[in-house]
Structures are given as structure tokens and as C-alpha cells.
Structure 1
Amino acid sequence: MDAIVLGGGLIGAASAFFLARRGVRTTLIERNRVGSGATVASFGNIRRSGRYLPQLPLAHRSLALWDQLATMLGRDVEFRATGHLRLIFSHEGLRAMRSFAEDARPWGLELEELTAKDVRARFPGIGPEAIAASFSPKDGSGNPRLIAPAFADAARKLGADIVENIEVEAVRKSEYGFQVETSKGVYAASMLLNATGAWGARIAGLFGETVPMVAKGPQMGVTEPLPHRVLPVVGVWAHDHGGGYLRQVERGNIVFGGGAERTDVSLDTGYAKADPARLPSQLRSLLPLFPALRNAAVIRTWSGCEGYVEDGLPVMGPSSTTAGLFHAFGFSGHGFQLGPGVGDVMAEIMEKGRTDIPMEDFRVERFQKLPRP
């Protein structure tokens, strides 16, 4: 049994690792460098609160893997279970949080509700005007620059072939499996995993599967180091204050995102950049979360090409048209936490043909038009 993984972001690299660990001969093909696309543009958020409820089993499985990655991959990918704090500034946000917390409990997620007094006592300097918050103590963050290369290197040690800086010229189903024609020759395998991110719909389209998806770029930034005072990842409920979020790394820098519209990205180039004109309003939207940003200097901004599916849910699982073809793309800006779990589950499906993780809502065939009665 052998497999080709197209795409070397977190999803593809994790899938290659878990396939190789299961004894599947695996080739990962990445047109640039592993982890250089949407993954490196990620905020690094590892959160389960606010997720689509049937996605929680996958999120739980992924969180358990995040906790093991330093040992599993042989290097620190800076996973820190500092907790995830989501601030509430309105009664609408409070209702949304309580409704989600109640609905998520049967799915195995327990959120702690904090009062305004609790927030001020436990997290000084954060959300001084918040009326409440939720706290998920086992969530946190990881380093987007480290994670995909770590998975790829570990996969290589297990025998996987990691091919970078290569142009894919054609992808075909052959009599014996799949052929990927590239600038470095032809690669063949019995299985193919489409983990090409924002380009995933294009690959699916080659096999008669239509996925409504657009490419967008988030606006991310990082400040100069500040006195260390923010331990958890901080976000908001019900998109209060523009839906901003932030975290402080151990060196003191504040990494932030949200609070600004995503930019359109052309798939022909895949090049996305932050818009400096949007930075002032973005920072203003973050001040209610952390007022100390008012006088902080921003030292870098960036973006990346992400694929956003029409319904906001990823495409995962086997192809509906082509035996041996599998998809794992379209994570719509929330795939970082899920990445290790997705890789593990996709490897399981490809090797065993099944998984206990609920996958029905993520099938590619959900976009097929139903025949008229």
C-alpha cells in the first residue's frame, strides 16, 4: 500500500507522518517549502470553544495529540496549554456562550463561566470592561512556524519521501492508481490525499467534484515585547469588538489577528499580504481585550492564502467519484487546532477504511445537487 499526499501544510505533513507510522509508503509533494502556506500564516490558536459541535470529537482527539507531540516528533513545537479565555462584552455574547456551553457538554467539552470580577482577579489587565467570559483550561496555542516541518521531518525518519519546491503539472487516475506529473518527474501511488488547502477545490474538480470555496487572506501582526502579563489565548464571543484575538508568546510579543476583513487572494499566485491601511482600526478593535496595546509598536504584519468553504466546514474523507482519492482541505481559517487529529484520522481512513470519528457532515458529496423529484 502506498500513498501520495499533495500539499505540505500542517494537514498534509501530519497525514504523511501518520501514514508512514502505519507502514504506508508515503510521498509528500509540496510546491514550495513545507509549512510555508496557510499554516505559517496561522495565529496558532488551539481552541475547542465555539466550534461546530459535531467537530468536537475530532478536536478532542487532536488536542490529545498536541499534548504528545514533543515526544512523538522529537522536538518542541511550543504547544502550551495556557487556556483559552473568551471575553463577553454584551448580553448577546453571554447568551451565545451559555447556549454553546450547554450544547457542548454532551460532546465532552466543559467550559467554565467567569464573572467580570473573576476575569479581573485571575487575568489582570485583560478585558477590563468585559461583563463575563468563558475559560477552557486545557486549550492554548502552538507555533505555526515549527509544526509542519516537525511533522515532515518525523515522517522522513519513518521512511516517507518529502519532495519540496516542485511544480505539479497534472494529476491523473491511472489503471493502477494515481499519477502526479511534476517538474521533477512522475510519481505514482495507489492512493492520493488532496491536502492542497485553498487549491483543494481545483484538485477535487479534476475528478468531477465541485466544492464552493474562495481564497482569502487574514490580517495578522505581532508587537514588540511587552511586560509579560497575558497567559491564556484571548478572544471574544459573538464577534464583539470585531472578533479580535491575541496571545502573548514567552518572549513577550503580542501576536494578534481578527478585527479586519480578510483580503481576496488569487490562486494563480497564492500571494497574500496584509493591508497596512486596516491596521489602525484592527488595533482599536483589540484595545477592549488588552488596553496595554495602545502604546505598543507593531513590528511585523503578514497574511497567507487560506481556503474558505461556503458553509464554513472542511472537506474530509473519501472521494465520492474516485476510488483511492481522499480529501482534507478547506478548513476555513480554523484548521490549526485540528491539524494533528486530521492527519491521524485521514491516515486511519486510508489504511483501514473507517474511523470512529464522526465524518458525515464533512463529506465532499454534501455539495452535490440533489435530483429534482
Structure 2
Amino acid sequence: MSPWIDSEVIVMGAGIVGASAALALARRGRSLTLLERGFCGAQSSGVNYGGVRRQGRSLAQLPLSQRAHQIWGELPALIGIDGEYLRSGHLKLARSEADFVALQAYEAASRDHGLDLQLLDRSTLRARYPWVGEIAVGASYCADDGHANPRLVSPAFARAARQSGARVIEQAGDSRVEHDGQRFILHTQSGLRLRAPWLLNCAGAWAADLAAQFGEPVPMESGHPAMLVTEPLPWVMNASTGVEGGGIYARQVARGNCVLGGGRGFALDAYRARPGQSAVLAILRNAVELYPFLAGAQAIRTWSGTEGYLPDHEPVIGASTTQAGLLHGFGFAGAGFQIGPAVGEALAELVCDGASRQPIEAFSIRRFQVRHDLASNH
């Protein structure tokens, strides 16, 4: 039987949230173990679209998102690489007048949060971004938003945590979790035994299982975004883009390849997903409508991942209401890449200081307990 691995904190899940929490804890001198079922950053944190945007988030998320924006600006010093992070600007397109009205309403509602959004009518949009299709009637532009390479950034947070003193364990397999009244006890499928008074539940789309084990069920569903990348093309897109109401998003990298996403794929099993032919064809069809220069472009790779979605499209962040020492950070509905470093920092602050500098009460898991209790009484 393997010896016990003791630490102050165990972080379950080495996506960008868990790895950021591990890095923040290690930099504050805490002993911790970052535990990953497979490989660091290999699930949704490493296979997402790569958008690094504040625009379009709920108002409740914007304080955390603004803090994350600061962290992203310090990326090379923090994790040793720039991760191909580029503040290209983010252009959110409106395909109808109603969508443009929605963008105007968001600009007004978010004005106090410092996004400095610019509303572009049809003529201004055409003048500044002639590569956008005629279907777009306007847009909202956030100059300092951008994009990065998730395959580089997410694993780099875990490497930086290791270099700062964290114990990082990959390929641990599934873990059985118990609490003995003082500490969390974990037995991994790979045969390891771990103990710690703090446990951070950052297990992505699989985090709901652990929450339910400690009496905090949440109605989380898995989603599988469909994505593709084209062959290298002449440089055209000087902004990362999305669409009001969703449906498609696109960006172009320095090598000329265009990365696109939209729609849903399907699960092969609990940990693997594929985009599916119909989803890929829908992306290509919608893309040409919004970005006519993509007509005839060849898709050279397609992929998907597994993300966790909650009914209100808000994450769960903060302390368990049933078990002391248990903290949650999951359910980012495909939008955790940008905000992840600030969420990890907030979780580390809960461990070290007892409170987060950023407001996180809106993301408490308690909101689902209230609904569960109400449902049980009817």
C-alpha cells in the first residue's frame, strides 16, 4: 500500500481554474497537491475556442473577469510563456436590429465595469471591418479583449504551480473521496492515498458528482462544443468575433489559420467527445454568411470537448454549505478560459484569508439547494 501524501490543500482537477488555484496557493507558501485524472489542461480548458473576452458576460461575472484581465496581462511573468495571447479586440456582431438593441442594452448596463464598449452601426462596421458579411447590421467592440492558445496556456499554469512548489499528480484516474471529521481522504484509481483539510472541487464537467456526494446536488449537464480550424489563409481578421445570441465564433491566428466554433457535438464516452459532421457543416455554412472570405476554405482539423452547463448559465464558486474545507469552482458553461485565473485566485484567497477580494456570493452553490428544497416541499 502506498504511503500517505499529506498536504494542506488538495485541488481536484488541473484545468485552468484548478491549476490557477494551485499556483496562487503555492505562491503563498501553502503545501498542496494538484490532482488530475488524466493530463493537466487536457479537457475543456485545453480544447476550447481560446476566446479571452469580458464582453458578453453577466454583470455578476464582470468583477472577476476584470481581475482576470489584469492577470492575463501578466502572463509571461506568471507562467513563463505568453500563450499566444493577443489583445486583438473582440467584435460581437448583431444579425438583426433586435440583436443590435440587445448589444446597446448590454453596453448601457455594463458601463460602470470599465469595458469601454464601442457600438458600431452598419456603416461604421463596414468601414472598419470590411471582411464582415452583409448579414451583420452592427456590432459591439471591446478593444482590449482578445484570444490565446488554450493548448499552451492551461498546461502552463500547472507547470508554473509545480515550479512554485505544488505537487502535481497526473493520470491519477478516478478518486474515491471521504471525510474523517478532520481531513479529506482520497484514494485514487492509480493507487495513491492523499489527505488534506482543504479540498477544492475544480473537476469541470464531472464536479457535480463530488458536490452531490456531500449533499449539494446541482442540475449540471454536459455539453460538447463543435470546433474546427482551417488551412492557413491570407491575413484578414483583425479582431476575435462572436455573435449576439450565439451560434458561431471565429478568430484568425498569426499563422493564418482561422479557428471557428458553434453548435454541439456528441459524447463518445464519459471523457471523450466529437464534433459530428452536421455540426461542422453548420459551422462552415454560417461562417461564410458572416465571413465571406472563408468561402472555399478547407477545414484541416475538427474537435470537441466536455463542458459543464448549469441552468442559469452561471458557475458555482465558493464554499460548500454542508462540509467545512470544501470549496467549489465549476460549471463555467464553456466560458471559463478567460475568467479562470481570477476564479483560481479567489479560491486560494478563501483558503488563505477566509474571503475573496472579488464578489462571488452570486455563484454560491446555495442557490441550487434553495430550489431543491422548494421542489421537495411540493
One-letter amino acid of the counterpart of residue 318, structure 1: A
Alignment of 1:167-316 (within 5 A): 167-182=173-188, 183-239=190-246, 243-258=247-262, 260=263, 262-265=264-267, 269-316=270-317
CA contact (8 A) 1:198 1:215 kept: yes
One-letter amino acid of the counterpart of residue 136, structure 2: A
Aligned mates of 1:37, 1:179 — CA distance in 2:
25
CA contact (8 A) 1:168 1:180 kept: no
CA contact (8 A) 1:9 1:39 kept: yes
Q: Relative to structure 2, which stretch is displaced further, 39-48 or 188-197?
A: 39-48
Q: Relative to structure 2, which stretch is displaced further, 276-285 or 247-256?
A: 276-285
Aligned mates of 2:106, 2:27 — CA distance in 1:
36
CA contact (8 A) 2:19 2:158 kept: yes
Aligned identity (percent) is: 43
Displacement of 1:314 after TM fit?
0.5
Partner of 2:338: 337
Q: Relative to structure 2, which stretch is displaced further, 153-162 or 102-111?
A: 102-111
- 3-state DSSP class of the match of 2:45? coil
Q: What do the CA deviations read for 1:12-34 (whole angstroms, capped 9, x no partner)?
A: 11111111111111101101110
Is residue 2:368 matched to residue 1:367? Answer: yes
CA contact (8 A) 1:87 1:127 kept: no
Q: What do the CA deviations read for 1:89-126 (whole angstroms, capped 9, x no partner)?
A: 21111110011110001233221011222222222212
- 3-state DSSP class of the match of 2:289? coil
Aligned mates of 1:101, 1:293 — CA distance in 2:
30
- 3-state DSSP class of the match of 1:234? strand
Aligned residues: 367
One-letter amino acid of the counterpart of residue 130, structure 2: P
Alignment of 1:33-52 (within 5 A): 33-52=39-58
Partner of 1:161: 167
Q: Relative to structure 2, which stretch is displaced further, 220-229 or 358-367?
A: 358-367
Give RMSD over aligned pairs: 1.5
CA contact (8 A) 2:37 2:173 kept: yes
Displacement of 1:356 after TM fit?
2.8
Q: Relative to structure 2, which stretch is displaced further, 223-232 or 278-287?
A: 278-287
One-letter amino acid of the counterpart of residue 52, structure 1: S
CA contact (8 A) 2:46 2:155 kept: no
Aligned mates of 2:274, 2:245 — CA distance in 1:
27
Aligned mates of 1:348, 1:38 — CA distance in 2:
24
TM-score (norm 1): 0.95
Alignment of 1:103-122 (within 5 A): 103-122=109-128
Displacement of 1:87 after TM fit?
1.3
One-letter amino acid of the counterpart of residue 232, structure 2: P
- 3-state DSSP class of the match of 1:313? coil
Q: Which runs of 5+ in 2 are unaligned?
A: 1-6
Q: What do the CA deviations read for 1:213-248 (whole angstroms, capped 9, x no partner)?
A: 011110000000000110210111134xxx211000
Partner of 2:4: none
CA contact (8 A) 1:215 1:264 kept: no
Aligned mates of 2:97, 2:181 — CA distance in 1:
60
One-letter amino acid of the counterpart of residue 320, structure 2: S
Aligned mates of 1:326, 1:265 — CA distance in 2:
28
Aligned mates of 2:341, 2:135 — CA distance in 1:
36
Cα 1:23–1:174 shift into 2, 3 Å: same
One-letter amino acid of the counterpart of residue 304, structure 1: G
Q: What do the CA deviations read for 1:154-179 (whole angstroms, capped 9, x no partner)?
A: 11111100100112331111233111
Aligned mates of 2:192, 2:139 — CA distance in 1:
54
Q: What do the CA deviations read for 1:307-333 (whole angstroms, capped 9, x no partner)?
A: 111211101100010000000011011
Q: What do the CA deviations read for 1:243-267 (whole angstroms, capped 9, x no partner)?
A: 2110001000000001x2x24537x
Displacement of 1:370 after TM fit?
4.0
Is residue 2:149 matched to residue 1:147? Answer: no
Partner of 1:317: 318
One-letter amino acid of the counterpart of residue 235, structure 1: G
- 3-state DSSP class of the match of 1:39? helix
Aligned mates of 2:281, 2:187 — CA distance in 1:
46
- 3-state DSSP class of the match of 2:62? helix
Q: Which runs of 5+ in 1 are unaligned?
A: none
